[in-house]
Amino acid sequence: MAEKVKVAVVGASGYSGEELVRLLLKHPNVELTAITSRANAGKSIGEVYPRFAKSTLKFCNPDVSELAKLAQVAFLALPHGLATEYAIPLLEAGLIVIDISADFRLRSTAKYEEYYGAPHPSPELLKQAVYGQPERYREQLKSANLVACAGCYPTSSILPSAPLLERKLVSTEGIIICSASGVSGAGRKVAEAYIFPECNESFKAYGVVGHRHTPEIEQEFAVAAGVDELKLNFIPHLAPFNRGINSTIIYNLMPGVTLEDVQKAYEEAYGNEQFVMVLPPKKTADVKYVTMSNCCQIGYNIDPRTNKLIVTSCIDNLTKGASGQAIQCMNIRLGLPENAGLL
Amino acid sequence: MAEKVKVAVVGASGYSGEELVRLLLKHPNVELTAITSRANAGKSIGEVYPRFAKSTLKFCNPDVSELAKLAQVAFLALPHGLATEYAIPLLEAGLIVIDISADFRLRSTAKYEEYYGAPHPSPELLKQAVYGQPERYREQLKSANLVACAGCYPTSSILPSAPLLERKLVSTEGIIICSASGVSGAGRKVAEAYIFPECNESFKAYGVVGHRHTPEIEQEFAVAAGVDELKLNFIPHLAPFNRGINSTIIYNLMPGVTLEDVQKAYEEAYGNEQFVMVLPPKKTADVKYVTMSNCCQIGYNIDPRTNKLIVTSCIDNLTKGASGQAIQCMNIRLGLPENAGLL
Amino acid sequence: MAEKVKVAVVGASGYSGEELVRLLLKHPNVELTAITSRANAGKSIGEVYPRFAKSTLKFCNPDVSELAKLAQVAFLALPHGLATEYAIPLLEAGLIVIDISADFRLRSTAKYEEYYGAPHPSPELLKQAVYGQPERYREQLKSANLVACAGCYPTSSILPSAPLLERKLVSTEGIIICSASGVSGAGRKVAEAYIFPECNESFKAYGVVGHRHTPEIEQEFAVAAGVDELKLNFIPHLAPFNRGINSTIIYNLMPGVTLEDVQKAYEEAYGNEQFVMVLPPKKTADVKYVTMSNCCQIGYNIDPRTNKLIVTSCIDNLTKGASGQAIQCMNIRLGLPENAGLL
Amino acid sequence: MAEKVKVAVVGASGYSGEELVRLLLKHPNVELTAITSRANAGKSIGEVYPRFAKSTLKFCNPDVSELAKLAQVAFLALPHGLATEYAIPLLEAGLIVIDISADFRLRSTAKYEEYYGAPHPSPELLKQAVYGQPERYREQLKSANLVACAGCYPTSSILPSAPLLERKLVSTEGIIICSASGVSGAGRKVAEAYIFPECNESFKAYGVVGHRHTPEIEQEFAVAAGVDELKLNFIPHLAPFNRGINSTIIYNLMPGVTLEDVQKAYEEAYGNEQFVMVLPPKKTADVKYVTMSNCCQIGYNIDPRTNKLIVTSCIDNLTKGASGQAIQCMNIRLGLPENAGLL
């Protein structure tokens, strides 16, 4: 049997970090050798997450030189803005770095500055980073040393949209993305807005103008459409469930495009993809069918009265929207079966 | 003290019927004299709804001549298609009829037939019915004997949209309504799709093309805009909470319109309305703030990059979206304080 | 019409405070003249709780001399340990003080010190305080100037137990109270344990030994049983709903006691009570039937194999378990109809 | 590589059946060759459960001779009372039968008749069946051809109790089991009591006297205690989450027993068990830590005031409480690693 690849998770205290641990502990080809957390350093993982009580792993401090000795692959599950600090030395030490944060996703430093309010800390790394969405960038991922994993809302938007934009089935004008995310999408954030009685029996839009995922979505839509720039509306909502995102996307259909054209486009794009399931025409996706799986489900229908194509797309925000997709990227980079540890 | 008005609820077994009972039992100016239910006839209300165990009311069969003796006002909380059968004889017997179903909401018999698949059973009653949305039809309601209460999704859509359409602040083209409803919106419907484990930790769009509330919304939007016809997209979602609707509405802004123009429009329209609360600019509504209240909350913001106005609007589907609004209509018709029993 | 009584809520930022505001704003016989909150001082109530956007009330700082001018009744909705500081000067200034905290509930200063880890700050006030559970202490409440409202778990336990203990239908030995509370029972507490993804799809016991409500429950059980001391097990659980408590109580039945004896005891005790509903024999209570109401529901059954009486009891923890009961106490004290503002 | 064992699921339309399919499709040592459902016969599994859209399995009718050709192991996930009909011919055809229903769990035909209201259809099979709880009956399971998998509530009760009863740390008298189950515990049952608005924001006891799991729990407790008979109270509650059971168990401690004695008992019993996690003393279990896992978590504490031991125990009702445990039994029977497919 081949030797197991040693991997570390930097920042394992958030929900994406915990999901990485859950998946990596079961991954047949890797050994999880280090998990870091300043807050929990010294504690056993079972103390913090009783779910993993049978594991003997302990949280340690995020010491780069130590990590470089322990692992060949480092997953960064840190709040945005912190990834650069770890990515540079880890890359220099020869590790493959798979970043779950938003730090390396935007190719334009100007957009980064516009949406994040500060210059990008490492523009040269931006150039090196490969966007971590396997169905779109599989070839580049095979040799990527720095992977900028796609965001959760962007994943749920790009997967259903790219095949349509590439084939010019829909207009690049007037696209509306209306999404709803479970509360784990806010991370393990301790704030009044996220306590149970505030979120339960609640539903509300937020960030309806200028959400930070907007430029990421627009960037990848423009790539798919082959245009320089594209503007759309992305409107997220917070919904009372733990995991999952539904994106309902409304496009202006190009003249003469039929439901069959859409079906064919999806079959071409995803017929051989194991993590994208396209539903029969006129069905809608449901977040419950992808909970704790690495799949994206896509449904579609046409309103002939208004000539709109309405697409629904569901993922688990912590799996396909973060940690599962990160592992899928790692599998590709390491030449492992793409679904290893993700079955 | 003035004598209490005698009222009956026909079809008190559904969620809207139960909500009518909850509100009417506390209404200071009315006496609930009869509640009907074929399934529960003979049972005390406390047996069926332990919440009302202190009431001595009993369910009876829906006998029209009996009802005509017992009540001056009849609320019909029946599945669609059944209201006509009761409305005709009750109106003939001199009762005021307030219907919560969809039967008398569409003015066009052609639209009714298109969306309900059968000719309307009583076109002449359609003409007589006044649309039960007090903020829009208060004058007509003062003398209405047949009130066709506005639907839940329509109420959440029309209240925020009418002032904008009337003032030509937004285009009549390309309006998108993306709504999410709690599961009580499906009524007390016993079907696999609605059992707890299927709805909990679930979120999905449904009826994305051709939902029956679409023509009702389009009808009232056209009235507000002063046009003959208007087409839009209405996309409902089922969300895991009990009560409430959020509608997120995206409009194309007319040239030069500002956030202040929108604010002014809402102030003019709703500054004196006690059941519509317009939030400060850029805020978003939340269903939790209107649960078990008769209020509609409205938030709004402009995306200058795409020139879209994004409005969010929340109601409790069983209160402002059904039974509360029905009582508000009754109060107007009877000359009572509009908020009687709704405080 | 009689002049309205002026009331203030001290500490209106928690869930009990908010519930007091919700109920007092609708109370026909009182005027809410002041609400205090250090954190929110200066803000309008609608800014903090959009639900009350139509009210013009503003939060102010909790200045005692100011409060004494503005109000005749002061509700204290403060974390435990702070009530004394306000109660003393407000009582001296002639106000009626209705305290929702645990500060004045225990008659024994020794028990207070044992469970709260510090001597009671004002033993003399303890003697003066009347326990705020109207069905048990109605006469004393009529002249009480300091009311120590019963806790939420204690209310759900004492109401079903007192009639049984008084009539010696059950043993004072071996009583087990197994309760489940919605998350609002923890107050508006911002801590990781209470964020939505931690509480949703979760259920767990906590404080299974030594919970602070234990001595309060034991004190009132002993009073009812006419014994000096009584020991029991109280085991609370945190459950994923917003409001409500279910207490399932297991008693050793005294020899020969029948279901009819229990039924008769409850009828005697609560036949004329408007806020206690005793279900037919063998039924179980459900928290959903008392949500946002001031009622307690009680169900009971006997297991003849083990000679146990099993009682279930549900309340809304914020209403009958806190703010509603506080208003019921106020109504009694002021000679108002006991259900004023609570219908 | 060893040939895969062919397995069938009879009755794959319920939640336990679906969970079996979810786990068996990923099991490295088995091939799922047939899934039956009268209602869904002919449909692909993806049509019924979109989660499995990538599988090519189709539902077929439950034809015994067909099944006997297709599979070496048959899981029966049928409503109680139906298992006998399939078990007899499948056993005769040489299959291993693993039954998830309650049909073969009670060794006493008298108890079966008392609780199920009819004579047992096949007393001779009862004798042959091995109780499917691996931590208790591992040796017998190695050669069992008919496995009667332990029920969900019983599993959550027996695992924490057996080591205590065996070592006489607790009395056999006066045991109280207070459990709460998620709604999937009711199966995919379409009834008004289980629709979302009835279960959400609800919590209630049910079956507080005479629940059918009581004799199963008593039987296994008696075995562990080495007594002929044992009577206890089992009080289940329905709680608003999808999956999971918490059982809070209160025992009378035997004189002189300490927390350390309990700890030692659990270490002896479960130190080497991979699917039982005993928490540090004084901690409580939480259903969220076992969701979608095959583990049982156990917490414990002593109340010295009343001399009670209070144990909390959590499982996922569909996994360790049904399908996961069934697969664990199969793994033992087939000589596979006990955690195969259950990691």
| C201-213 tens-digit pLDDT | 999 999 999 999 9
3-state secondary structure chain A: CCCCEEEEEECCCCHHHHHHHHHHHHCCCEEEEEEECCCCCCCEHHHHCHHHCCCCCEEECCCHHHHHHHCCEEEECCCCCCHHHHHHHHHHCCCEEEECCCCCCCCCHHHHHHHHCCCCCCHHHHHHCEEECHHHHHHHHCCCCEEEECCHHHHHHHHHHHHHHHCCCECCCCCEEEEEECHHHHCCCCCHHHEHHHHCCCCEECCCCCCCHHHHHHHHHHHHHCCCCCCCEEEEEECCCCCCEEEEEEEEECCCCCHHHHHHHHHHHHCCCCCEEECCCCCCCEHHHCCCCCCEEEEEEEECCCCEEEEEEEECCCHHHHHHHHHHHHHHHHCCCCCCCCC
Q: Is A42 exposed, middle or buried (0-12, 13-18, 19+ CB in 10 A)?
A: exposed
Position C132 pLDDT exceeds 80:
yes
pLDDT in tens, A125-182: 999 999 999 999 999 999 999 999 999 999 999 999 999 999 999 999 999 999 999 9
Residues in D closer than 8 angstroms to C211, CB to CB, are: none
Q: Which among C152, C295, C296, C329 is annotated as catalytic?
A: C152
Judging contacts by C-beta atoms under 8 Å, the chain C residues touching residue A317 are none
Contact A277 D26 (CB under 8 A): no
Q: B242: nearest CA in chain D?
A: D197
Residue B251's alpha-carbon distances to B160, B206, C158, D252, in angstroms, are: 11, 22, 56, 67
- Is it the case that residue B133 has pLDDT exceeding 60? yes
CB contact under 8 A, D289 and A49: yes
Chain D: give the shortest CA distance to residue C327, in Å: 24
pLDDT tens sequence across B270-286: 999 999 999 999 999 99
Among candidates B189, B191, B196 on the partner chain, residue whose Cβ is nearest the Cβ of D200: B196
3-class SS at C75? strand
Please, which chains are in contact with D (at least 3 CB pairs closer than 8 A)? A, B, C
ipTM value for the complex: 0.96
Average pLDDT, chain C: 96
Top pLDDT among C250 and B3 is at C250
Average pLDDT over residues B185-206: 97
Output the six-digit token pair for D56.
């090519």
Q: What is the pTM of this model?
A: 0.97
Among B60, B152, B295, B314, the active-site one is: B152
Nearest Cβ partner for D343 among A26, A277, A297:
A26
Q: What mean pLDDT value characterizes chain D?
A: 96
Active site residue C295: no
Residue-level pLDDT at C1: 55
Report pLDDT digits (tens) over D130-189.
999 999 999 999 999 999 999 999 999 999 999 999 999 999 999 999 999 999 999 999
Identify the chains in contact with B, defined as 3+ C-beta pairs within 8 A: A, C, D
Spatial separation of the C-alpha atoms in residues A280 and C34, rounded to whole Å: 60
- What does the pLDDT read at residue A245? 98
Q: Is B251 helix (H, G, I), strand (E, B) or coil?
A: strand
CB contacts, 8 Å: D201 with chain B = 242
Question: Is residue C42 packed enough to be buried (19+ CB in 10 Å), middle (13-18) or exposed (0-12)?
Answer: exposed
Q: By percentage, how much of chain C surpasses pLDDT 90? A: 95
CB contact under 8 Å between A50 and D277, yes or no, is yes
List the structure tokens of D183.
């709604």
Residue-wise pLDDT for B63-80, tens only, equals 999 999 999 999 999 988
Strand order from edge to edge, sheet including B176-181: B204-205, B233-238, B176-181, B245-252, B308-315, B296-303, B276-278
Quote the CA–CA distance of D278 and D300 in Å, as a whole number.
Answer: 9
* Sheet with B96-99: strands ordered across: B59-60, B30-36, B5-10, B73-76, B96-99, B146-149, B130-132
Tell me the chain B residues in contact with residue D195 when contact means C-beta distances shorter than 8 Å.
Answer: 183, 188-190, 194-196
| Contact assignment for D50 to A286 by CB distance below 8 Å | yes
Spatial separation of the C-alpha atoms in residues B139 and B126, rounded to whole Å? 18
pLDDT at C79 (0 to 100): 85
Q: What is the pLDDT of residue D53?
A: 85
B103 pLDDT band, cuts 50/70/90, is very high
pLDDT at C273 over 60: yes
Chain C residue numbers with beta carbons less than 8 Å from the beta carbon of B46 are 277
The answer to whether the beta carbons of residues B114 and B123 sit under 8 Å apart is no
Residue in A152, A199, A295, A314 annotated catalytic: A152
**Mean pLDDT estimate for chain B:** 96
